[in-house]
Structure 1
Amino acid sequence: MFHRLYVGTGAFDIVGKRKRWYILFGALVLVCIASIGIRGFNLGIEFEGGTQLQLPGHGTHGVISPAQAGQVFADATGKQPSSTQTVGVGNAATVQIRSESLDAPTVAKAKEALFTQLQPIGANGQPSVQSISDSAVSASWGQEISQKALIALGVFIVLVTAFLTIYFERWMALAALISLVHDILVTAGIYSLVGFEVTPATVIGLLTILGFSLYDTVVVFDKVKENTRGLLGLTRRTYAETANLALNQTLMRSINTSVIALLPVLGLLIVGYFLLGSGTLQDLALVQLTGMLAGVMSSLFLATPLLVDFKMRDPRFRQQADRVRARRANAARKAAEAEPEPAGGEAAGVSGEAGKAGKSGKAGNSEESAQRREKVYAAASAVPGRTPKAQPRRGRPSGKRKR
């Protein structure tokens, strides 16, 4: 298997099985759209607005856990926090509590309860109520970020469409854009299904994966463009077979590029979440990891099959495919006719048994011949015939005679 990946001879029929990829990707997109419409998103405080309290992660009684801080907050205010998490490690660790918008008296009551029960230690090494800070976030700030992100996404799509149309062609641009929309929908749908919190870092990460999603698609399309140059005048392969060959030739490159790109993202997720406990790094790594995986899958199993279907709408490529099939059928017929038939004496056996051959012997020979023809047809259709090499031209005589 690994040898076939490296040689890239077209052993993996990705384009030929494109209907099953369409069903798979279509079902995934429908599930993601349904989840977005029904469940929605778990928006962070930056988008919904609210109050955030932050206190040191160490107190006189030891380490302050997010569960302890959340319970004290709920008892003091009568409202459950939307999220509690520890940010940072060691002495620099802090506990963040996020909730809906609270008025000033309720915030003061929550801070007093946190100080009384948890005794957080401030920068001076002593418990202090001033070490507990609060901040209010307006929902308008998140809406402004969303609007700017949508504007940036629109400008990006317009520029990419223009570039792909000029450098490649319109059908390649359309196939790349469809795979790009798939990546965005799948990433957003997974966030909705799992319930990941959507923060400004998530929006930034979503914008960064757009370029990676298109990078692999452009690499494959460039190989398809190179392989299909002058294809209409040839009868060796159809457009679908040539595009599938280009996919196989770039398959190992796509896998290597994806693995190398995903390793730093995994490192960012592990270091940011498990070691530092940073919510921002976690959100950034999650959206990049999800988007990159979706981008790799769509560039290999969606973009090129879509391109093949778009190109086969052109009558010229359909006629070229018919010529390829006709040439292969003609080659198979000639190969079957050139194959020698078994001798009658050998087929009938030794003397004395020739009378038993009769009609049954003729029927058996015709059946065997039909089976041989079918095998030849299958072999000719699977392996295209090669163009015979041109005979070397002989040099013109110099006109000089030997003496």
Structure 2
Amino acid sequence: MKSRFAGLGRLYRGETTFDFIGRRMIGFAVSLVIVVAGAGSLLIQGLELGIDFRGGVAWEVPSNSSAGELTDEDARAVLDANNIESTSAKIQFLTGTELQIMRVQVGDQTEQVRLAVQKSYADLAKVPVEEVSVASVSSSWGRSITEKALRALVVFFIVVSLYISWRLEWKMALTAIIAMAHDVVISVGVYSLLGFEVTPATVIAFLTILGFSLYDTVVVFDRVLENSKKFAASRQSFANIANISTNEVLARSLNTTLASALPVVSLLVVGSFILGAKSLED
């Protein structure tokens, strides 16, 4: 037990001696496998874009009305009855304090079909037609948001490259950009492999990953530059300096990861599995 606490103490004091550089080929191999798998999935099956990006229509129906609680099968039956492909429909149950809402999303439909489905859901839930909301999203909106996000991302890369080149070295700036691109490619590849739906919230998550990736990269590079000057007279190899620097900031990187992961896990566990918020579970 004492040895474990001693190990944690060494970790948080930056006194660990992990050979990151010596074992870099293991990391390269694992990373390459994930990147290739993700890139292959992106090329073959692409991403599952949400309604905000591909356009479509969504109905929101009170699920716990006088007709009783509606089910997934009820929602799909209404779609089938109106000649809409139900297998590709996305159905969510949004739970509030007093009311549960069933949200049904499909591809774009004509105004006549939208109104017919709205009336069918109202009849099914035994509520007035006005209580069944219909929302239509054009694919041009999602395309516009995507283009703006990409432009902002390019500007972000340029500004970050210039700053790191000025503050550290141009080689570090290039490496930082590669590291951020690597992290985003892996994240997007996982979404493609697992078939997760890409929504505006997903784009925000990808940008958040960029932020954390850049933060960790700059922290390590700054320590490497500092130690390069510190050990200049001792003729230490650059590999040793990189190892020392990475071990010194390891605890800081772990703390950053935990600080961001704990709230997300808490929301998922407490909100979804304990309180039953279906939107979080989806």
Match in the other structure for 1:320: none
Match in the other structure for 2:112: 105
Following superposition, the deviation at residue 282 of structure 1 comes to 6.8
Find out whether 1:210 has 2:217 as its counterpart. no
1:222-258 alpha-carbon deviations (Å, 9 max, x no partner): 21111110544423x2111111011111112211221
**Letter of the structure 2 residue corresponding to residue 109 of structure 1:** A
Find out whether 1:48 has 2:47 as its counterpart. no
Following superposition, the deviation at residue 71 of structure 1 comes to 2.7
Query: Please, which moves more after superposition, 241-250 or 222-231?
Result: 222-231
Cα distance 1:249–1:78, how it changes in 2: closer, same or farther (>3 A)? closer
Query: Please, which moves more after superposition, 81-90 or 154-163?
Result: 81-90
Distance 1:154 1:278 in 2: 36
Match in the other structure for 1:144: 144
Q: How do 1:279-358 and structure 2 match up within 5 A?
A: 279=279
Match in the other structure for 2:3: none
Query: Gaps (5+ residues) in structure 1?
Result: 120-126, 284-403
Match in the other structure for 2:263: 264
Match in the other structure for 1:134: 134
**Letter of the structure 2 residue corresponding to residue 239 of structure 1:** F
Following superposition, the deviation at residue 7 of structure 1 comes to 4.3
Following superposition, the deviation at residue 16 of structure 1 comes to 1.3
Find out whether 1:28 has 2:34 as its counterpart. yes
Contact 2:54/2:139 (<8 A) preserved: yes
Distance 1:51 1:71 in 2: 17
Distance 1:48 1:210 in 2: 24
Following superposition, the deviation at residue 209 of structure 1 comes to 2.5
Work out the percentage of aligned pairs sharing the same amino acid. Answer: 36
Match in the other structure for 1:255: 254
Find out whether 1:82 has 2:89 as its counterpart. yes
Distance 2:165 2:195 in 1: 37
Cα distance 1:57–1:91, how it changes in 2: closer, same or farther (>3 A)? farther
Query: Please, which moves more after superposition, 149-158 or 201-210?
Result: 201-210
Match in the other structure for 1:370: none
Find out whether 1:94 has 2:90 as its counterpart. no
Query: Please, which moves more after superposition, 53-62 or 224-233?
Result: 224-233
Contact 2:67/2:124 (<8 A) preserved: no
Following superposition, the deviation at residue 82 of structure 1 comes to 2.0
3-state secondary structure, aligned to 2:75: helix
Match in the other structure for 1:37: 43
**Letter of the structure 1 residue corresponding to residue 170 of structure 2:** R
1:28-54 alpha-carbon deviations (Å, 9 max, x no partner): 111111111111000011111112111
Greater percentage in strand: 2
Contact 2:56/2:106 (<8 A) preserved: yes
1:147-192 alpha-carbon deviations (Å, 9 max, x no partner): 0000110011011111111111112112211110111101101111
Which of 5, 8, 20 is the matching residue for 2:11? Answer: 5
Contact 1:58/1:91 (<8 A) preserved: no
Distance 1:162 1:241 in 2: 28
Match in the other structure for 1:164: 164
**Letter of the structure 2 residue corresponding to residue 60 of structure 1:** S
Distance 1:271 1:142 in 2: 31
Q: How do 1:109-128 and structure 2 match up within 5 A?
A: 109-119=116-126, 127-128=127-128
**Letter of the structure 1 residue corresponding to residue 166 of structure 2:** I
Greater RCO structure (CA 8 Å; 6+ sep):
2
Following superposition, the deviation at residue 98 of structure 1 comes to 0.8
Match in the other structure for 1:180: 180
**Letter of the structure 2 residue corresponding to residue 186 of structure 1:** I
Cα distance 1:282–1:147, how it changes in 2: closer, same or farther (>3 A)? farther
Query: Please, which moves more after superposition, 14-23 or 59-68?
Result: 59-68
Find out whether 1:72 has 2:71 as its counterpart. no
Match in the other structure for 1:353: none
Following superposition, the deviation at residue 112 of structure 1 comes to 2.7
Query: Please, which moves more after superposition, 129-138 or 186-195?
Result: 129-138
Following superposition, the deviation at residue 143 of structure 1 comes to 0.4
Contact 2:61/2:122 (<8 A) preserved: no
Q: Which has the larger radius of gyration?
A: 1
3-state secondary structure, aligned to 1:9: coil
Match in the other structure for 1:245: 244
**Letter of the structure 2 residue corresponding to residue 36 of structure 1:** L
Contact 2:39/2:189 (<8 A) preserved: yes
**Letter of the structure 2 residue corresponding to residue 74 of structure 1:** D
3-state secondary structure, aligned to 2:19: coil
Contact 2:61/2:125 (<8 A) preserved: no
Contact 1:180/1:210 (<8 A) preserved: yes
Contact 1:4/1:11 (<8 A) preserved: no
Query: Please, which moves more after superposition, 225-234 or 51-60?
Result: 225-234
